[in-house]
Amino acid sequence: MPAETVTVELGRRSYPVRIGAGVRREALAAAKARVDAGRRCAAITSPGVAGALPDFVAELGRLMPVLVTARDGETAKSAEEAARCWDFLAGNGVARDGAVLAFGGGVVGDLAGFAAASYQRGVEFIQVPTTLLAMVDSSVGGKTGINLASGKNLVGAFHQPAAVFADTELLRTLPGREFAAGMAEVIKHGLIADADLFGLLEQNAPLAWNHALLPAVVRRCVEIKAGVVAGDERETSAHGGRALLNLGHTFGHAVEAVAGYGTYLHGEAVAIGLAMAASLSSELGRCTPAQTERVRAVLTAHGLPDRLRGPLPVDRLLEAMRRDKKVRGGRMRFVLLEGVGAASTDDGVTEEAAVRALLAGGAAR
């Protein structure tokens, strides 16, 4: 399939997302054009990505200095790593007209994006995602940030990239567990906006990186995300809007935090959160128990957990949910499924109902 373009429509800040096998070469060409124009650029990647994809990192290295983060995984989204990025940009003479290229998964994208957003009050940013999760979700939409000891993504900025190059060939080296974690966000896109996509995932489970349908699935997810972001860039809609992309995330972030970062991959925690959100939705009569079962079945068919692997205390999960950024005016905001392919936000869910969903997902009193 030839590469395709989805445009994120944000007026003057609109940008293309190129999707398909081989588009990493377009990313190199875009970087070279900037360097040739005399603009100092720098790339940021992680040890895991540099180890798995050394050829591309070497090609980047011939064009610009490349910072490899000290750590891999969620702990790299730290103030300490952000400071290393700023120092690296300054030390390499990146100026206001420079650019930062992120080569990696959601962690590198969030960290490098935040560095680009804050360094010299904002320099240009290009994303070359290397995980499925980053291709279908985190590289698009401009949310960047780092974690604090007290919670995930608590410091950050909206900073849209100038372009995204999602090369599905880069997924060849991605470990199976990480690929499955990305499928959680793919399933989420089907659940909130596209029953046909959800059906395709049911019929073709488990999708692999080299499945003929994968580029089209990535494109559909990017289209959905781009549409939502264009309508509510900063998540300020009173109802629905960008918040719908958080389906399963209020539960999922609590699972990640209480289990300890690294116990569950982000996507695995989101998968458990999707199952919890589905059981909450069916308890509130917004979807049917049969639809909740379909959600569980599609998650497990893609190698994802549909409940906690071991019990976590319900009180601590609830406390983490209260601390989550999704709390509005002191009330927890949930995204509920309205069947398969549609969702809505709800600020009126009681804590008792949330507790029942947590218990159904394997939490313990």
Ligand X SMILES: NC(=O)c1ccc[n+]([C@@H]2O[C@H](COP(=O)([O-])OP(=O)(O)OC[C@H]3O[C@@H](n4cnc5c(N)ncnc54)[C@H](O)[C@@H]3O)[C@@H](O)[C@H]2O)c1
Task: Give the catalytic positions in this structure.
Answer: 121, 143, 185, 225, 235, 242, 246, 249, 253, 266
Asked if 302 touches ligand X (CB under 6 A), the answer is no
User: 100 CB contacts (<8 Å, ≥6 apart)?
Assistant: 41, 42, 43, 44, 85, 89, 94, 112, 113, 115, 116, 119, 123, 124, 125, 126
DSSP H stretches of helix in the chain: 24-36, 47-52, 54-63, 79-91, 106-118, 132-133, 176-193, 195-203, 214-231, 249-259, 266-283, 289-301, 314-323, 351-360
Q: Applying CB under 6 A, which of residues 266, 296, 302, 326 lies at the interface with ligand X?
A: 266
Of 98, 106, 248, 305, which one interacts with ligand X (CB under 6 A)? Answer: 106
Using CA atoms, how far apart are residues 156 and 142, in angstroms rounded to an integer? 10
For ligand X, which residue of 131, 168, 250, 282 counts as binding (CB under 6 A)? 131
CB 268 to ligand X: min, Å? 10
Task: Indicate which single residue of 98, 141, 248, 362 sits in contact with ligand X (rule: CB under 6 A).
Answer: 141
Residue 143 in contact with ligand X, rule: CB under 6 A: yes
Q: Which is nearer to ligand X, 215 or 294 (CB)?
A: 215
Tell me how far, at minimum, the Cβ of 24 lies from ligand X, in Å.
11
Considering only CA atoms, which of 113, 118, 121 is closest in space to residue 139? 113
Cβ atoms 231, 335 nearer than 8 A:
no
Collapsing DSSP to helix, strand or coil, 340 comes out as: coil
* Interaction between residue 170 and ligand X (CB under 6 A): yes
Question: Could you tell me the CA-to-CA distances from 225 to 217, 240, 277, 347 in Å, in that order?
Answer: 12, 13, 19, 22
199 is an interface residue for ligand X by CB under 6 A: no
266-283 and 351-360 helices cross at what angle (nearest 10)? 120
Tell which one of 78, 118, 130, 291 touches ligand X (CB under 6 A): 130
Helix, strand, coil fractions of the chain, as percent rounded to 5: 50, 15, 30
Residue 46 is a binding residue for ligand X (CB under 6 A): yes
Nearer to ligand X, 39 or 152 (CB): 152
- Under rule CB under 6 A, residue 174 binds ligand X: yes
Closest to ligand X by CB, 106 vs 248, is 106
Cβ 107 to ligand X shortest distance, Å:
3
**Distance in Å, CB of 125 to ligand X, minimum:** 12
Q: Is 108 in the site for ligand X (CB under 6 A)?
A: yes
Does residue number 173 form part of the binding site for ligand X (CB under 6 A)? yes
Least distance from C-beta 141 to ligand X, angstroms? 5
d(CA 221, CA 277): 20
Regarding 293 and contact with ligand X (CB under 6 A), the answer is: no
Q: What is the rounded CA–CA span in Å between residue 123 and residue 262? A: 31
Q: How far is the CB of 139 from ligand X (least distance, A)?
A: 8
Residue of 98, 267, 305, 361 interacting with ligand X (CB under 6 A): 267
Q: Which is nearer to ligand X, 178 or 306 (CB)?
A: 178
**Would you count residue 326 as binding ligand X (CB under 6 A)?**
no
Kindly list the distances between the CA atom of residue 134 and the CA atoms of 98, 143, 170, 321, in Å, as whole numbers in the listed order: 23, 12, 12, 24
Q: Which of 110, 124, 167, 324 is the binder for ligand X (CB under 6 A)?
A: 110
Q: Smallest distance, Å, CB 81 to ligand X?
A: 12
Of residues 135, 268, 278, the one with CA closest to residue 214: 135
Beta-bridge mates of residue 17: 6, 164
> Given candidates 137, 194, 268, 306, which one binds ligand X under the rule CB under 6 A?
137
Token code pair at residue 353? 């109902």
Contact flag: residue 248 with ligand X (CB under 6 A): no
Asked if residues 364 and 311 have their Cβ atoms less than 8 Å apart, the reply is yes
Residues 6+ apart with CB under 8 A from 91: none
Binding positions for ligand X, rule: CB under 6 A = 46, 48-49, 52-53, 72-74, 77, 104-108, 110, 130-131, 133-134, 137-138, 141, 143, 153, 170-171, 173-174, 178, 181, 266-267
